[in-house]
């Protein structure tokens, strides 16, 4: 059986999440999104067997390939950047975490209208202010939130962010607090923005302390990825 340690790892992570949620004073349920990128479809099957029904992929093509072979009804999350010419494939995902520009939103809107149900997204914020990362500058979130509120084909469920690799605890908390603030701005603009997707294998406990409702965990569950 692939990933024989997954059950134990999931149990350990869940216990740590529960403790972190208590420390942070948060009562919201935290969803674990098992990130299966670079692994085969058996990783999604193992996640399902271990009681994790949410699976994340950062590349759309890789995700679509696994969907057709994985024999389990997991909810697929697209957590990475999407090119505008691939927006049609969002129909296959439960939630898109990486709405990172106005231009991408403009491409997604018609897809939701055509299919008769809005595309569910999280607004990615570049809270750490990194040149190399996608996402909106927090200063632009309010204006984009207003604009998105007028788009029938998109529903914004919350905010997503990625912390800077190697950030110390103080910086992590600042980044996660900025994402929390972005969610508040979205909610104030009328969006049903209840979710905060933040925290990866290295920083998920701090993210949960800061109010994450979804953590995206790869290596801590499935082991180190091949480069």
In 172-197, which positions are buried (b, 16+ CB within 10 angstroms) versus exposed (e)?
A: bbebbebbbebbebbbebebebebbb
- Cβ at position 126, least distance to ligand PLP in Å: 13
Q: Which is nearer to ligand PLP, 87 or 98 (CB)?
A: 98
When CB distances to ligand PLP are compared, the closest residue is: 218
Return the half-sphere exposure (C-beta side, CA atoms, 13 A cut-off) of residue 98.
20
Q: Which is nearer to ligand PLP, 77 or 183 (CB)?
A: 77
- Cβ at position 105, least distance to ligand PLP in Å: 19
153 contacts 108 by C-beta, under 8 angstroms: yes
218 contacts 200 by C-beta, under 8 angstroms: yes
78 contacts 57 by C-beta, under 8 angstroms: yes
Q: How far apart are CA 205 and CA 200, in angstroms?
A: 9
Q: Which is nearer to ligand PLP, 151 or 215 (CB)?
A: 215
- Cβ at position 13, least distance to ligand PLP in Å: 10
- Cβ at position 188, least distance to ligand PLP in Å: 26
Q: For 95-161, give the DSSP string.
A: EEEEE--HHHHHHHHHHHHHHTSPEEEEEEB-TT--TTS-SB-GGGHHHHHHHHHT-TTEEEEEEE-
- Cβ at position 171, least distance to ligand PLP in Å: 17
- Cβ at position 70, least distance to ligand PLP in Å: 18
Q: Which is nearer to ligand PLP, 186 or 217 (CB)?
A: 217
Q: How far apart are CA 39 and CA 58, in angstroms?
A: 12
Q: Which is nearer to ligand PLP, 183 or 216 (CB)?
A: 216
Q: Which is nearer to ligand PLP, 26 or 81 (CB)?
A: 81
136 contacts 100 by C-beta, under 8 angstroms: yes
- Cβ at position 154, least distance to ligand PLP in Å: 20
Q: Which is nearer to ligand PLP, 79 or 82 (CB)?
A: 79
Tally Cβ neighbours within 10 Å of residue 129.
12
Q: Contact residues for ligand PLP (CB under 6 A)? A: 35, 37, 58, 79-80, 162, 200-202, 216-220
Token pair in block for residue 153: 């084909």
């Amino acid at each position: 059986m692939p990933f024989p340690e997954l059950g134990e790892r999931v149990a350990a992570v869940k216990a740590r999440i529960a403790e972190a949620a208590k420390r942070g004073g948060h009562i919201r349920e935290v969803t674990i999104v098992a990130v299966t990128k670079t692994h085969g479809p058996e990783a999604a099957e193992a996640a399902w067997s271990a009681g994790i029904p949410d699976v994340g992929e950062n590349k759309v093509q890789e995700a679509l390939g696994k969907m057709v072979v994985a024999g389990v009804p997991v909810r697929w999350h697209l957590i990475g950047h999407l090119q505008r010419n691939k927006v049609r494939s969002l129909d296959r995902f439960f939630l898109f975490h990486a709405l990172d520009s106005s231009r991408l939103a403009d491409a997604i809107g018609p897809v939701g209208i055509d299919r008769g149900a809005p595309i569910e997204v999280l607004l990615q914020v570049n809270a750490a202010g990194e040149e190399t990362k996608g996402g909106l500058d927090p200063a632009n979130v309010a204006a984009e939130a207003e604009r998105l509120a007028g788009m029938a084909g998109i529903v914004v469920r919350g905010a997503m962010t990625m912390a800077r690799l190697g950030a110390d605890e103080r910086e992590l908390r600042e980044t996660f607090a900025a994402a929390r603030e972005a969610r508040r701005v979205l909610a104030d603009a009328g969006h049903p923005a209840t979710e905060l997707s933040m925290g990866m294998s290295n920083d998920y406990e701090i993210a949960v302390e800061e109010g994450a409702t979804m953590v995206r965990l790869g290596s801590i569950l499935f082991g180190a990825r091949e480069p």
